[in-house]
C-alpha cells in the first residue's frame, strides 16, 4: 500500500476558516480539502437543505419532457416506464412509476431481461410497447446511446423521453427529450446525478408545474439515496443533499418495500455504507439471478405482508448470488495463475459458463486482488459480454474506446463499463487492451493507495472532535470518510490476532507522554502482529468510529494499514 498525504491547505486560508467557524484546525483542514472555503459553504455542508436543490428546468429538454408527459396524461395515453435492471435503474423505475400513478392510471413498468435482452433499450421492449398500445416510453438509467431503437420506435408511433447519466456519444438519439446532465450542451449546474437522480429531477419538474414543492417529494428520497449509494456517484453538491434526506427517510419512514429489506438486516440506523453493502446487493440480486421486475415489484408494493414475501424471495436470490460469485472468483483467479499472467498490467479472463449476472462483482474482486484494470467475459448468445472495472484515477472507458475496432458496443463510466464483442475477436481484443493500458497508465496507479487527509496525534481525538466529524457524513466519492495518520505509536502490550481465522488485529494504541489511548481494530491486518509487538514504535493509518459494547459507547480506531 502506498500512503499519500494530501497537501496541506494554505495557512492563511486555514486560519481564516478556523476563526470564522470556531473549530479545531484539523476540522478546518478537512473542510478546505473538500473545497469548502467560507462560512456560508460550511453551513451548507453541515446543514444540508432541500432549498439547495437546483431548479429542474435548468436541465436541457426538461420543459419538453414535462410538456410531453402532461400531453400523454391529458390524452389518456399509455405510458411505459422503462429502466435498467441494476439498483439505479430499478429504483428509478419504481420512483417514476409510483409518482406518475398518482396522476395517471395508464402507467406500466418494463425492465429488460439481463440474459435475453441485455443492457438498455431493447427491440423486445419496443415490441412489448407496440403490442400494448404504449405511445410514450420514459427510459431511465439507459437510452443515451439507443439511436437505432429510438428511431425504430418513432417510426412505429412511440415517443421516447430519455433520463440518463452516462456519457453521450457525439450525437443524441432522436427522442422528444434527452435529459442527461453530461450532455455537452446542458447547462445544468450539477453533472454527477445518478439515473434515479435524473428521474427525481423530472418528477420535481412535474410537481412544480402542479404547484407542489420538493417537500411533497420527500417520500421518494429513500429510492434516490439507495441509488446514489449503489451507483458510487460523488456525494457532494446535489447528491449530498439527496442522500442526506434520503437516509433520513430510510431511517424513519421508508417505503414498505425498503422496510421489508431492513427487517432482514437487523440494523437500527443505516449509514450510506450500510445501504451500499446491505440494501443494494439485495435489490441488485433480482436482476442478476432472476429478473429486475422482482425489485420493482418489491419497491412499489403497498401491502406489508406481500412486501415481506417479495423481500424473502429477493434475499434468496442474494444468497445464490454470493455462492456464484465465490465460485467464479476462485475460477478466475486460478485462470490468471495458470496462464501465468500475474506480470501483465491488465486482468482479462473468460469462461463461457460463468453467470452473466455476477461478472461485474467478480471483476471488482479481481481488481482488489491484483489491483489493475480488469475485464471478466462470459458468453451470451453467440457473443461475449464483459464487465470492466478500473483502479483509482485510470479511465477504463477511454481505454476501451481506443480498442473500439474489436468491440461491438460498450458504455459506462471512468471506473466501470460493460461491453460486447464477437468471440473470434477475444484474443485480439485482450492484447489490444493490454497494449493500450501499457501505453497509457501511470505505473504508480497499480499500487493500491491510501489517501490520508492529515497527520494528527491521538490527543486530538476527543468526543467534541468526533461529534463534528460525524457531521461530515454521508460519505462517498469526493467526500470520503476522513483518514488520519499517527506516528510514534506503541501498543500497550495486549495486541493480538482475533477472529475465527485469526486474520484480524486488535491492539490498544498510545503515544509517549500522553494519556490518550484507543482500542484499534485492523480487519485483515493479522499479518502485522510482529510490527506492533515487543514495544516497537510504529505508525498507523485509520479512520475513527464508535464501538458499542454492553451499552457503553467508546471511540475506536479502524486501522487501514500499519508500518514500522
Low-confidence spans in the chain with pLDDT less than 50: none
Strand partners, 2: 449
Q: Please classify residue 29 by burial: count the beta carbons closer than 10 Å to its beta carbon, then call 0-12 exposed, 13-18 middle and 19+ buried.
A: buried
Please tell me whether the peptide bond between 218 and the residue prior to it is cis, using omega within 30 degrees of 0: no
Output the domain CATH number for residue 523: 2.40.50.460
Examine residue 319 and state whether it is found in any structural domain, yes or no: no
Using the Cα atoms of residue 130, residue 132, residue 138 and residue 141 in order, give the sign of their dihedral. negative
Please indicate, yes or no, whether residues 415 and 432 belong to a single structural domain of this protein: yes
Please indicate, yes or no, whether residues 306 and 224 belong to a single structural domain of this protein: yes
Q: Rounded to an integer, what distance in angstroms lies between the CA atom of residue 200 and that of residue 191?
A: 14
Among 446, 474, 489, the domain boundary falls at 446
Output the domain CATH number for residue 438: 3.10.310.30
The whole domain housing 403 covers 339-446
Please indicate, yes or no, whether residues 400 and 266 belong to a single structural domain of this protein: no
Examine residue 325 and state whether it is found in any structural domain, yes or no: no
Q: What is the largest CA-CA distance in the chain?
A: 80
Per DSSP, which regions of 107-158 are E strands? 107-110, 134-140
Please indicate, yes or no, whether residues 406 and 528 belong to a single structural domain of this protein: no
Please indicate, yes or no, whether residues 128 and 240 belong to a single structural domain of this protein: yes
Q: Rounded to an integer, what distance in angstroms lies between the CA atom of residue 423 and that of residue 426?
A: 5
* Count of domains observed in the chain: 3
Examine residue 318 and state whether it is found in any structural domain, yes or no: no
Examine residue 334 and state whether it is found in any structural domain, yes or no: no
Among 400, 424, 446, the domain boundary falls at 446
pTM above 0.85, yes or no: yes
- CA distance to 249, 261, 379, 385, 422, per residue, from 382 (Å): 45, 37, 7, 10, 8
* CB neighbour list of residue 492: distance below 8 Å, 6 or more residues apart: 507, 508, 510, 517
Examine residue 249 and state whether it is found in any structural domain, yes or no: yes
Q: Tell me which long-range contacts 279-284 makes (C-beta under 8 A, separation of at least 24).
A: 279/226, 279/229, 279/250, 280/87, 280/226, 280/229, 280/230, 281/318, 281/321, 282/311, 282/314, 282/315, 282/317, 282/318, 283/87, 283/90, 283/91, 283/226, 283/230, 283/314, 284/86, 284/87, 284/230, 284/321
Examine residue 270 and state whether it is found in any structural domain, yes or no: yes
Please indicate, yes or no, whether residues 432 and 291 belong to a single structural domain of this protein: no
**Dihedrals phi, psi of 173, to nearest 5 degrees:** -60, 155
pLDDT, position 342: 64
Examine residue 402 and state whether it is found in any structural domain, yes or no: yes
pLDDT, position 415: 86
Q: Rounded to an integer, what distance in angstroms lies between the CA atom of residue 471 and that of residue 482?
A: 11
Please indicate, yes or no, whether residues 223 and 296 belong to a single structural domain of this protein: yes
Please indicate, yes or no, whether residues 22 and 76 belong to a single structural domain of this protein: no
Please indicate, yes or no, whether residues 292 and 430 belong to a single structural domain of this protein: no
Please indicate, yes or no, whether residues 235 and 357 belong to a single structural domain of this protein: no
User: Quick one: cell of 558?
Assistant: 479502524
Output the domain CATH number for residue 150: 3.90.1640.30
Examine residue 322 and state whether it is found in any structural domain, yes or no: no
Q: Tell me which long-range contacts 465-469 makes (C-beta under 8 A, separation of at least 24).
A: 465/24, 465/26, 465/27, 466/544, 466/546, 466/555, 468/23, 468/24, 468/27, 469/27, 469/30, 469/544
Please indicate, yes or no, whether residues 300 and 258 belong to a single structural domain of this protein: yes
Please indicate, yes or no, whether residues 84 and 167 belong to a single structural domain of this protein: yes
Among 397, 429, 446, the domain boundary falls at 446
Using DSSP, state whether 175 is helix, strand or coil.
Answer: coil
pLDDT, position 515: 87
Please, are residues 78 and 108 in contact by the beta-carbon 8 Å criterion? yes
Q: Rounded to an integer, what distance in angstroms lies between the CA atom of residue 119 and that of residue 83?
A: 9
pLDDT, position 548: 81
Amino acid at each position: 500500500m502506498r500512503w499519500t498525504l494530501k497537501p496541506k491547505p494554505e495557512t492563511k486560508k486555514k486560519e481564516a476558516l478556523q476563526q470564522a467557524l470556531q473549530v479545531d484546525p484539523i476540522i478546518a483542514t478537512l473542510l478546505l480539502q473538500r473545497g469548502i472555503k467560507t462560512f456560508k459553504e460550511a453551513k451548507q455542508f453541515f446543514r444540508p437543505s432541500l432549498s439547495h436543490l437546483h431548479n429542474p428546468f435548468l436541465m436541457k429538454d426538461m420543459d419538453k419532457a414535462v410538456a410531453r408527459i402532461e400531453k400523454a396524461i391529458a390524452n389518456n395515453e399509455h405510458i411505459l416506464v422503462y429502466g435498467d435492471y441494476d439498483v439505479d435503474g430499478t429504483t428509478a423505475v419504481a420512483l417514476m412509476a409510483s409518482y406518475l400513478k398518482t396522476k395517471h392510471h395508464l402507467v406500466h413498468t418494463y425492465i429488460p431481461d439481463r440474459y435475453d435482452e441485455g443492457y438498455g433499450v431493447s427491440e423486445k421492449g419496443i415490441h412489448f410497447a407496440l403490442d400494448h398500445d404504449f405511445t410514450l416510453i420514459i427510459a431511465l438509467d439507459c437510452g443515451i446511446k439507443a439511436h437505432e431503437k429510438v428511431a425504430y420506435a418513432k417510426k412505429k408511433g412511440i415517443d421516447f423521453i430519455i433520463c440518463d447519466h452516462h456519457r453521450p456519444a457525439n450525437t443524441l438519439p432522436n427522442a422528444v427529450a434527452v435529459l442527461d446532465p453530461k450532455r455537452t450542451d446542458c447547462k445544468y449546474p450539477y453533472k454527477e446525478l445518478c439515473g434515479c437522480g435524473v428521474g427525481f429531477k423530472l418528477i420535481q419538474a412535474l410537481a412544480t408545474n402542479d404547484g407542489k414543492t420538493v417537500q411533497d417529494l420527500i417520500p421518494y428520497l429513500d429510492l434516490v439515496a439507495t441509488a446514489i449509494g449503489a451507483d458510487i456517484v460523488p456525494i457532494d453538491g446535489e447528491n449530498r443533499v439527496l442522500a442526506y434526506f434520503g437516509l433520513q427517510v430510510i431511517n424513519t419512514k421508508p417505503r414498505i418495500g425498503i422496510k421489508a429489506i431492513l427487517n432482514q438486516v437487523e440494523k437500527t440506523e443505516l449509514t450510506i455504507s450500510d445501504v451500499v453493502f446491505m440494501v443494494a446487493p439485495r435489490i441488485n440480486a433480482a436482476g442478476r439471478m432472476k429478473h429486475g421486475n422482482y425489485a420493482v415489484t418489491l419497491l412499489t408494493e403497498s401491502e406489508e405482508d406481500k412486501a415481506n414475501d417479495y423481500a424473502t424471495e429477493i434475499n434468496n436470490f442474494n444468497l445464490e448470488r454470493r455462492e456464484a460469485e465465490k465460485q467464479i472468483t476462485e475460477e478466475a483467479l486460478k485462470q490468471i495463475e495458470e496462464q501465468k499472467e500475474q506480470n501483465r498490467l491488465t486482468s482479462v479472463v473468460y469462461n463461457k459458463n460463468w453467470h452473466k449476472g455476477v461478472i461485474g462483482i467478480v471483476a471488482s474482486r479481481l481488481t482488489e486482488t491484483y489491483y489493475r484494470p480488469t475485464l471478466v467475459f462470459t458468453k451470451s448468445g453467440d457473443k461475449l459480454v464483459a464487465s470492466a472495472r478500473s483502479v483509482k484515477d485510470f479511465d477504463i472507458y477511454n481505454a476501451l474506446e481506443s480498442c473500439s475496432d474489436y468491440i461491438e458496443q460498450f458504455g459506462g463510466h471512468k471506473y466501470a463499463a460493460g461491453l460486447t464483442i464477437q468471440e473470434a475477436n477475444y484474443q485480439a481484443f485482450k492484447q489490444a487492451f493490454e497494449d493500450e493500458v501499457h501505453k497509457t497508465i501511470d505505473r504508480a496507479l497499480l499500487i493500491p493507495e491510501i489517501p490520508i487527509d492529515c497527520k494528527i496525534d491521538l490527543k486530538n481525538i476527543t468526543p467534541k472532535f468526533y461529534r463534528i466529524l460525524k457531521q461530515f457524513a454521508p460519505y462517498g466519492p469526493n467526500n470520503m470518510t476522513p483518514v488520519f495518520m499517527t506516528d510514534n505509536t506503541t501498543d500497550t502490550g495486549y495486541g493480538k490476532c482475533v477472529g475465527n481465522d485469526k486474520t484480524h488485529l486488535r491492539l490498544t494504541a498510545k503515544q509517549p507522554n500522553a494519556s490518550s489511548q484507543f482500542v484499534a481494530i485492523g480487519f485483515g491486518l493479522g499479518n502485522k502482529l510482529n510490527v506492533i509487538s515487543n514495544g516497537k514504535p510504529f505508525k498507523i493509518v485509520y479512520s475513527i468510529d464508535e464501538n458499542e459494547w454492553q451499552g457503553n459507547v467508546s471511540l475506536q480506531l479502524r486501522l487501514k494499514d500499519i508500518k514500522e
